[in-house]
Amino acid sequence: MPIEHADTVRRAASIPEIKDRAKCLGIEFRPLNPVFGAEVLGVDLSQPLPDSTKSLLQDAQWRYGVTLYRGQSMGPAEETNFLLSFPHNESAIAEQRFCNGFFPERVPGHPMLAVRGKTSFVPVWHMDKNELVCPPELCSIYMLKAPAVGGETLYASAVHAYERLSSDQKAFFETLQCEYRADSAFRGLTIHENGVWRVDDVEAAVKLADEDPVELKYGPRYMVHPLVIQDPYTGLKSIFYNTALFTNFVGYSRQQSREILEDALVAATAPELVVEMKWQPGDFVMWSNRMVFHSNTPDVMFNASERHFHLAFLDSKTPVTAAREGVQSMA
């Protein structure tokens, strides 16, 4: 199937420019973390937003990576419309070919919104649907009912993960290509001794990958993507990686691959660099899926009846762009 390309790419404003424009619109961005993320104050998503606000929020999304809108009371139509104000694959949405189709329960009449909450996958740092040619650029959670304890979502900046590397490491990482096997997902992963779920045992995670292939309905079984990609809206580079689906770098063994990555990723997900989202009802969070890692936390920490949210992956028509020319994606 031919790849659909984004029609136009509008370069996002810088953070100082975003803050200036926000002041004029009565909006404030409050940092969630020293390196990324912002709480957005002064926006009511239940009301129609002027184009100037939508454009500002879009720029802020790409620059901050995670945006949190607290105390929202929008309905599913407003939620869908707001998501669709961001770049997306129109034909996939119109034809309801949603890349999060593996969540069968949907908000009635609003099929882009999956109903989730009681259970999660194994907690592990990842980006959603890395195995696609055009993984979603934007994902969102709208929390309707939250447990008092547990059920947090963790976020870490994949842009910072790249930026904190030495110049030699950056140059080397930009040459690497990741192999993903979707049928090896979520196996054999462990918890770091400090209690945070981490990149710990890539080898164990993929030990079943060589078994008979399984039929996959919602994406290819195998994909190669560059490890370092470049965001079209900001020019920022990020480490594009999914612990659960990664097997090895092209040309490297699993053990070598693990050794190359481990220090960089463990450092980038240090507790002080992680945004821990302690959910409250009415929280709406969007994350730039190609620029931010996320992880759930164990379900056993809360009662299954206590959590209820909408989850959207906004289908994209923009292929992953390698940070370095000549390092390509291959299906």
Q: In the complex, which residues of this chain contact Fe ion (CB under 5 A)? A: 128
Residue number, 103 or 222, with CB nearest to Fe ion = 103
Residue number, 18 or 320, with CB nearest to Fe ion = 320
Q: Please report how close the Cβ of residue 128 comes to Fe ion at its closest, in angstroms.
A: 4
Residue number, 128 or 137, with CB nearest to Fe ion = 128
Q: Please report how close the Cβ of residue 48 comes to Fe ion at its closest, in angstroms.
A: 30
Q: Please report how close the Cβ of residue 126 comes to Fe ion at its closest, in angstroms.
A: 6
Q: Please report how close the Cβ of residue 302 comes to Fe ion at its closest, in angstroms.
A: 18
Residue number, 128 or 299, with CB nearest to Fe ion = 128
- The torsion angles phi and psi of 305, rounded to 5 degrees, stand at -80, -5
Residue number, 53 or 153, with CB nearest to Fe ion = 153
Count Cβ atoms below 10 Å from residue 22 Cβ, excluding itself. Answer: 22
Q: Which residue is nearest to Fe ion (CB)?
A: 128
Helix 51-64 vs helix 15-25: angle between axes, to the nearest 10 degrees?
150
How far is 295 from 40, CA to CA, in rounded Å?
Answer: 22
Q: Please report how close the Cβ of residue 139 comes to Fe ion at its closest, in angstroms.
A: 7
